[in-house]
A = this chain, B = another copy of it.
Amino acid sequence: MMKFLLLFVYIGLGSGMSIVNPGPKFPPTKGHVWPKPQEETKENKYFLFNPSHFKVKVLGQNCTILVNAINRYSFIIKNKSGLHHRRNHERRRRRIGRDENYLGGIDELQVDLTEPCEEYPHFEMDESYKLNVSSTSTLRSASVWGIIRGLETFSQLFYLSNDRNQLKLQELRVNATKITDFPQYSHRGLLLDTSRHYISMSNILKMLDAMSYNKLNVFHWHIVDDQSFPYQSERFPELSEQGAYDSSMVYTKEDIQRVVEYARDRGIRVIPEFDVPGHTRSWGNAFPNVLTECYRQDKVVGLGPMNPTKNATYKLLRDLFQEVQTWFPDKYFHIGGDEVELDCWRSNPELREYMNSHNLSVTQLHGLFMENAIPLLANDSEVVVWQEVFDEKVPLSKETIIHVWKGSWISEMVTILTAGHRLIFSSTWYLDALGSNWPDYYWADPRQMVFDVTFNSTLANGIVGGEACMWGEMVDDRNVMGRVWPRASAVAERLWSANTLGRRMRSIFDTIPLEVYQRIEEHTCRMIRRGIDAQPPSGPGFCIP
């Protein structure tokens, strides 16, 4: 597996000997947005939410994706903003004294989509939007994806008045606000590994919900690996019949289509990874012949990476990739290429003979494999590979995107960018470092790191984004939501908002502003209200359900 041991130990936020206050360690903000918008002006004056009258009015273009998004967020605002006692609320609204900041009720949001909807989210999609909460509230974007991001922001502006223990007097408010917003990085992803432990469809869909609450836009589905093969192929059913943990632990074609549709509705791309030629042991239950027999002292001791010299290997990959690319409409395909057990290739007499006769080193053999495998993908594919493929000097087209995950990432990124590749960053965002908490994931801005050593922003802009990686060794269906959220929220804010907050963080030792601690508390409770079993972000506290 791609394990990178972050040695940042969780620094206790315990009470120490200083004066402790009762209640939450970081009292949550009220109606603050995560990830932070690029430009935001918020007044003290507020509107009251009127659940029985509120509606969203479509002014411009319309389409099913937009209708679905409006329904979703209308439901969320009405039912998931923490206001339990709607009837009480309504009745008491008239009785509560109105202060000078009260601007009246908010009954409508006008949604103005100025260009026709696109069918699928894609790498270059426009996610920018303008939101104005005032007596006539409007949300405007040239793209349905921008409208979706804006609706998320709008839904996050609502907050309950008054403090705890006074629930009966609470009312839902939204301050007069102007927001101009867009993401700093195009590729904002979450990798989920469903091979080391099987993750249920129900949790995958919840994961997509949570991604949309954090404006992440790429679901990188590391669907199969050494340990199990849950992808249920129609062309090769034996792969999962013999490679899945259990017959109940598979993803069918219908499951995959459901994930793609669900993600599309939320402006999320789904990029599958079939990690070859290493990380393929589970393929060998059904197709041992495409793997390499590893030798120790002239004896076969097990099966290793795919055999790069056999036609059968490429034939299987060609037919399987063809099916996979029909089921996953995104042009991006992650073909892996990491952690190939070159020692196994070296140990195999036939491969040694092959390397000798073709005058190839073992890394050149890896190169040969990738050169053969990549063209098996559809012509218009955009290919992503783990950094080893670049490091081992496999000839790659400049279009290939390199996924950086190892240490020494700054020099690695500079080398990759200088060679003319775009890249995706993950090195400091491995969520399987169980002792790391969200502040450990919050500081790193990959473009900033490259700019700091090169002073070349054009070069830095070759970093198209990054991904938080939830490798599955230590997470299963029961704890995966809490392991990912809110830790991945830190990555989501960095990728959306980058360093525009006027507080450039350059290392893990920079102090995160108190406001961020308070805002992630609100955001975590918000996710919990919406059904995401997020874990406590930073210390003692509570969420009203």
Interface residues of A (CB under 8 A from B): 1, 3, 5, 7, 9-10, 12-15, 17, 19-25, 164-165, 195-198, 226-229, 243, 245-247, 249, 281-282, 284-285, 294, 301-304, 339, 341, 343-344, 433-437, 472-476, 478-479, 482, 528, 533-536, 539-542, 544
Contact = CB atoms under 8 A, between A and B. Distances in A.
Contacts of A472: 540
Please tell me how many copies of the chain the complex holds.
2
A12 B20 contact: no
B21 A535 contact: no
B9 A536 contact: no
A19 B294 contact: yes
A90 B531 CA distance: 41
A9 B8 CA distance: 9
5 contacts: A3-B14, A21-B226, A164-B245, A474-B535, A479-B536
Contact of A542 (B12, B19, B249): B249
Contacts of A246: 164-165, 542, 544
Contacts of A20: 226-227, 281
Contacts of A539: 196, 473-474
Nearest to A198: B542
Given A23-B228, A285-B22, A478-B535, A434 B10 contact: yes
Contacts of A479: 479, 482, 533, 535-536
Given A198-B542, A479-B536, 5 more contacts: A3-B12, A14-B473, A22-B226, A434-B435, A473-B539
A17 B473 contact: no
B197 A540 contact: yes
B474 A478 contact: no
A20 B21 CA distance: 51
Contacts of A344: 19
A536 to B, nearest CB: 5
A120 to B, nearest CB: 33
Contact of A473 (B13, B249, B294, B544): B13
Given A15-B1, A245-B164, A535-B476, A281 B22 contact: yes
Contacts of A433: 10, 435
A245 B9 contact: no
Contact of A341 (B10, B17, B339, B476): B17
A337 B7 CA distance: 34
Given A433-B435, A540-B196, A478 B533 contact: yes
B228 A22 contact: yes
Given A1-B15, A12-B3, A246-B544, A22 B482 contact: no
Given A197-B542, A540-B197, A528 B478 contact: yes
A500 to B, nearest CB: 30
B21 A302 contact: yes
A281 B285 CA distance: 60
A21 B105 CA distance: 62
B197 A22 contact: no
Contact of A247 (B165, B435, B478, B533): B165
Contacts of A476: 535-536, 542
A158 to B, nearest CB: 20
Contact of A197 (B17, B228, B245, B541): B541
A223 to B, nearest CB: 14
Contacts of A5: 9, 12
